[in-house]
């Protein structure tokens, strides 16, 4: 079975051929976690690393950071007003911030720059063109096929295309506040489509191109989008991703509303895509824009008007539509980009994330363009045609900032330093990491082999809900880093470490990560479900929590003696697979749809490349026998309900599942067995006294998972 993550995430290499779907547990799986823990412990001892050269940039010293940070929390209004004034406001805001994180004192809300009107697209494009930067490149576009040259987009060209597309959307009846679903490959036109929505005040909701028709349909339905922008398809490595086919199928599955218009970008030669459009509903992007008026007036929107919805998984229920609004998001995305990546004139920046995820929203589309930067967009995968692709692109475009995920680093690290040879990477100034904790081994490799010990590693902790980077070792000349440590809060961010009761801990400590004051791009709502918003993120008065009940908190965190923050990973039932959040409940729902399945429980386990893999325990109905066919059917079920990246790595036929007397599945035990298999010790299993039927655990240990 080909690991689908490579395709979906665009970040990882396909896994090395594993022994045929066998009963063999790869040695690395069992030892990986122990290795990671030991490794982390070794560096915790306070190893600090200082890059040999980093130029004085947007922040000149740690003292300047300290001074700015102090100002940002002492007087957030003055701090953010100064910054906000460098953007175009059609009408200036009256009040910088008003927020409440305490539900016992009234509704939870966060409002920034109220009274102001502006437009993201205007600030990202028109403003720069008006300032004479129209000929500067906004996007270089690297094809999947190495050597195939594709045209770059200047700011002026981007603006021209966006205006035509925005008019085409208006022509399709899209008005301010309407939702438009984008299901596209990672090409510059995806960012342009987002900007076209923003220009007319429409709310974009991008669905990552690796999702299945079922998953896309449920998101179109939840957002009630009548217009979809998609593409015929795209080549990712050797694989053709037929986006149109999926979008077409999704449109047929949507209930309660009709997809009235689909705008379809042509990215493939017609004989390859084989797409024939549905008359009356579908129109080619090229035809729609050619027919549209070249000039599109900007819709000025309120600072608190919604900008986008992005669906994300939680530990329970269906994915949540995380809603971000205009003014605060604009200011925060731009400011974090400026300082976190230390953008300088002439730099070419490259973030490998897809715009289907928040990283692509804030650090491909909005942050870099708001800063007037030039960046590279790559539609392929780093492993194609070989593991040297990323490094050759760094040289070809003279990339100054490379922002990628630990899973990609680990995948490339496995190939050794061979693929690095023949590339100089001398243009690199800093290296970024996002999506999951970066293990010290990967950190070291990235730092030493990729960056030649010259470049800071900017390990950015944040979430879809936070809209922008929250905790980060900002790149500052002479500043030291601790491998694997996210270090310091960004301006205006006030982290807190709390216990399960919601009490804040002081000094060096460990607990759950929470944030105790609003920042400009705080999540504003769960689309269509304010109740869920308040209950999920603000169950404890005064704090934004990083995960959901019943665990009250998603990310574990340690604050060391120097006050630096270490993110220790999810503590709730969310799995982080290659930097993508997958709710265990979502995968379980997909598995139990199969008629032969009585019950299923899904947990994560340490995976050497993906960070976490998906491990499913399946109990079959009476009389049904385990078989390869059934196992394959369950994997297919996950692929079709969610997407290829949610395919399980391990299927464990479980005679039954360990439960408490009240019938709650004891996931803690399942996680231990998944991580350690037969070697699991009684100690590791912890307290099993609440088990309704203790022998179940021994049966589980005696049986085994099947690595796919």
Q: Hey, which residues are catalytic here?
A: 572
Using rule CB under 6 A, residue 337 touches ligand WT7? no
The Cα–Cα gap between 349 and 139 comes to 10
Measure the CA angle with vertex 649, ends 646 and 653; round to 5°. 110
Sign of CA dihedral 109, 112, 118, 121: negative
Number of amino acids touching ligand WT7 (CB under 6 A): 23
Distance CA 546, CA 548 (A): 7
Q: Collapsing DSSP states into helix, strand and coil, what is residue 276? A: coil
**Nearer Cβ to ligand WT7 (451/705):** 451
Q: Which of 8, 375, 463, 521 binds ligand WT7 (CB under 6 A)?
A: 463
Between vectors from CA 424 to CA 423 and to CA 426, what angle results, nearest 5°? 145
- CA atoms 144, 149, 155, 156: torsion sign: negative
Q: Is 584 in the site for ligand WT7 (CB under 6 A)?
A: no
Q: 586: left (phi > 0), else alpha (psi -120 to 50), else beta?
A: alpha
- Binding-residue pattern over the window 247 to 286 for ligand WT7, x denoting contact by CB under 6 A: ----------------------------------------
The CA distance from 82 to 61, in Å, is 20
| 312 lines the binding site for ligand WT7 (CB under 6 A) | yes
CB of 155 to ligand WT7, least distance (A): 26
Candidate ranges 72-80, 458-466, 526-534, 593-601; the one touching ligand WT7 (CB under 6 A): 458-466
The whole-angstrom separation of Cα 274 and Cα 417 is 40
Both structure tokens of 214: 């079922």
Encode 469-487: b = buried (16+ Cβ within 10 Å), e = exposed: bbbbbbbbbebebbbbbbb
Contact flag: residue 464 with ligand WT7 (CB under 6 A): yes
- Interacting residue with ligand WT7 among 5, 374, 383, 546 (CB under 6 A): 546
Check residue 459 for interaction with ligand WT7 (CB under 6 A). yes
Residue 435 makes contact with ligand WT7 by CB under 6 A: yes
Instruction: Rule CB under 6 A: say whether 486 interacts with ligand WT7.
Output: yes
3-state secondary structure 324-382: EEHHHHHHHHHHHHHHHCCCCCCCEEEECCCCCCHHHHHHHHHHHHHCCCEEEEECCCC
List the one residue from 567, 620, 646, 685 that touches ligand WT7 (CB under 6 A): 567
Tokens of 417: 């330093």
- Residue of 154, 576, 578, 589 interacting with ligand WT7 (CB under 6 A): 576
Q: Footprint of ligand WT7 on residues 282-301 (CB under 6 A)? A: none
Determine which residue in the list 462, 527, 537, 544 makes contact with ligand WT7, applying CB under 6 A.
462
The interface region with ligand WT7, picked from 40-48, 294-302, 460-468, 692-700 by CB under 6 A, is 460-468
Residue placing its CB nearer to ligand WT7 in the complex, 461 or 527: 461
For ligand WT7, the nearest residue by Cβ is: 464
> Torsion angle of alpha carbons 441, 443, 446, 447, nearest 10°?
-110
Among 189, 460, 494, 522, binds ligand WT7 (CB under 6 A): 460
**Through-space distance between the first and last CA atoms of the chain, rounded to whole angstroms:** 6
233 touches ligand WT7 (CB under 6 A): no
State yes or no: residue 436 binds ligand WT7 (CB under 6 A).
Answer: yes
**Closest alpha carbon to 463 in 584, 344, 548, 542:** 548
Give which of 313, 312, 315 is closest to 551, Cα–Cα.
315
Which of these segments, 79-87, 145-153, 434-442, 645-653, binds ligand WT7 (CB under 6 A)?
Answer: 434-442
Peptide bond into 644 cis (omega under 30): no
Angstrom distance (rounded) from CA 354 to CA 643: 15
State the burial class of residue 640 (Cβ atoms within 10 Å of its Cβ: 0-12, 13-18, 19+): middle
Could you tell me which stretch among 27-35, 198-206, 396-404, 432-440 binds ligand WT7 (CB under 6 A)?
Answer: 432-440
- The correct pick among 511, 554, 608, 613 for binding ligand WT7 (CB under 6 A) is 554
CA distance 491 to 65: 8
515 binds ligand WT7 (CB under 6 A): no
State CA 352 to chain mean position distance: 11
Minimum distance between the CB of residue 262 and ligand WT7, rounded to whole angstroms?
A: 27
Supply the DSSP symbol for 551: T
Q: Give the x/- contact pattern for ligand WT7 in 661-680, rule: CB under 6 A.
A: --------------------
String marking each residue 341-370 x if it binds ligand WT7 according to CB under 6 A: ----------------xxx-----------
Does residue 461 belong to the site contacting ligand WT7 (CB under 6 A)?
A: yes
Ramachandran sector of residue 280 (left: φ over 0; alpha: ψ -120 to 50; beta: rest): left
Mode of pairing for the β-strands spanning 525-526 and 320-325: antiparallel
Minimum distance, C-beta of residue 72 to ligand WT7, in the bound complex (Å)? 21
Nearest to ligand WT7 of 54, 462 (CB atom): 462
Strand, helix or coil for residue 151: coil
| Closer to ligand WT7 by Cβ: residue 289 or 546 | 546
Q: Name which of 323 and 486 has its Cβ closer to ligand WT7.
A: 486
**Residue ranges in contact with ligand WT7 by CB under 6 A:** 312, 357-359, 434-437, 459-464, 486, 546, 554-555, 567, 570, 576, 579, 581
């Amino acid at each position: 079975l080909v690991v689908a993550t490579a395709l979906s995430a665009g970040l990882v290499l396909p896994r090395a051929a594993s022994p045929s779907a066998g009963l063999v547990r790869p040695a690395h799986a069992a030892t990986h976690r122990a290795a990671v823990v030991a490794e982390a412990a070794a560096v915790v001892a306070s190893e600090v690393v200082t890059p040999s050269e980093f130029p004085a940039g947007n922040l000149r010293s740690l003292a300047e950071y300290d001074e700015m940070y102090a100002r940002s929390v002492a007087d957030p209004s003055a701090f953010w007003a100064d910054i906000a004034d460098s953007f175009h406001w059609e009408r200036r805001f009256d009040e910088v911030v008003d927020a409440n994180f305490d539900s016992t004192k009234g509704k939870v809300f966060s409002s920034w720059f109220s009274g102001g009107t502006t437009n993201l697209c205007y600030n990202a494009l028109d403003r720069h063109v008006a300032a004479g930067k129209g000929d500067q490149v906004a996007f270089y576009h690297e094809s999947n096929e190495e050597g195939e040259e594709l045209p770059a987009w200047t700011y002026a060209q981007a603006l021209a295309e966006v205006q035509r597309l925005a008019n085409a959307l208006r022509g399709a009846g899209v008005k301010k506040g309407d939702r438009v679903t984008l299901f596209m490959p990672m090409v510059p036109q995806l960012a342009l489509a987002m900007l076209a929505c923003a220009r007319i005040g429409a709310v974009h909701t991008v669905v990552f191109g690796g999702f299945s028709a079922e998953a896309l349909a449920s998101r179109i339905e939840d957002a009630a989008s009548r217009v979809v922008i998609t593409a015929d398809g795209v080549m990712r490595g050797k694989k053709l991703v037929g986006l149109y086919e999926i979008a077409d199928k999704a449109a047929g599955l949507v209930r309660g509303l009709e997809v009235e218009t689909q705008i379809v970008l042509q990215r493939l030669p017609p004989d390859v895509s084989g797409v024939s459009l549905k008359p009356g509903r579908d129109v080619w992007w090229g035809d729609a824009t050619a027919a549209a008026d070249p000039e599109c007036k900007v819709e000025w929107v309120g600072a608190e008007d919604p900008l986008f919805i992005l669906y994300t998984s939680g530990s329970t229920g269906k994915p949540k539509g995380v809603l971000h609004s205009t003014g605060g998001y604009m200011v925060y995305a731009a400011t974090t980009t400026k300082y976190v990546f230390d953008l300088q004139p002439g730099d070419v920046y490259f973030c490998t994330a897809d715009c289907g995820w928040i990283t692509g929203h804030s650090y491909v589309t909005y942050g870099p363009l708001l800063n007037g930067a030039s960046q590279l967009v790559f539609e392929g995968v780093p492993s194609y045609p070989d593991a040297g692709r990323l490094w050759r692109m760094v040289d070809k475009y003279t990339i100054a900032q490379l922002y990628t995920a630990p899973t990609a680093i680990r995948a490339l690290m496995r190939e050794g330093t061979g693929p690095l040879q023949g590339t100089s990477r001398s243009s690199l100034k800093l290296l970024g990491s996002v999506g999951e904790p970066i293990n010290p081994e990967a950190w070291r490799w990235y730092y030493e082999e990729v960056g030649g010990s010259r470049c800071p590693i900017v390990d950015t902790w944040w979430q879809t809900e936070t809209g922008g980077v929250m905790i980060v070792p900002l790149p500052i000349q002479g500043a030291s880093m601790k491998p694997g440590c996210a270090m310091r809060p960004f301006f205006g961010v006030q982290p807190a470490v709390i216990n399960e009761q919601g009490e804040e801990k002081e000094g060096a400590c460990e607990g759950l990560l929470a944030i105790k004051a609003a920042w400009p791009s705080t999540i504003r709502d769960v689309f269509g479900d304010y109740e869920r918003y308040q209950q999920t993120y603000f169950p404890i008065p005064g704090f934004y929590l990083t995960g959901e009940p019943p665990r009250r908190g998603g990310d574990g965190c340690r604050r060391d003696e120097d006050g630096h923050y270490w993110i220790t990973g999810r503590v709730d039932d969310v799995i982080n697979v290659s930097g993508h959040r997958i709710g265990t409940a979502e995968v379980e729902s997909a598995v139990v749809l199969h008629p032969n399945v009585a019950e299923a429980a899904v947990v994560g386990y340490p995976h050497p490349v993906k960070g976490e893999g998906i491990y499913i325990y399946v109990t079959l109905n009476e009389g049904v026998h385990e078989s390869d066919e059934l196992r394959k059917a369950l994997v297919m079920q996950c692929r079709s309900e969610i997407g290829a990246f949610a395919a399980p790595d391990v299927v464990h036929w479980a005679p039954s599942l360990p439960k408490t007397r009240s019938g709650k599945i004891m996931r803690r035990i399942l996680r231990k067995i998944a991580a350690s298999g037969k070697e699991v010790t009684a100690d590791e299993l912890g307290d099993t006294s609440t088990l309704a039927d203790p022998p179940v655990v021994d049966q589980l240990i005696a049986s085994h998972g099947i690595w796919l």
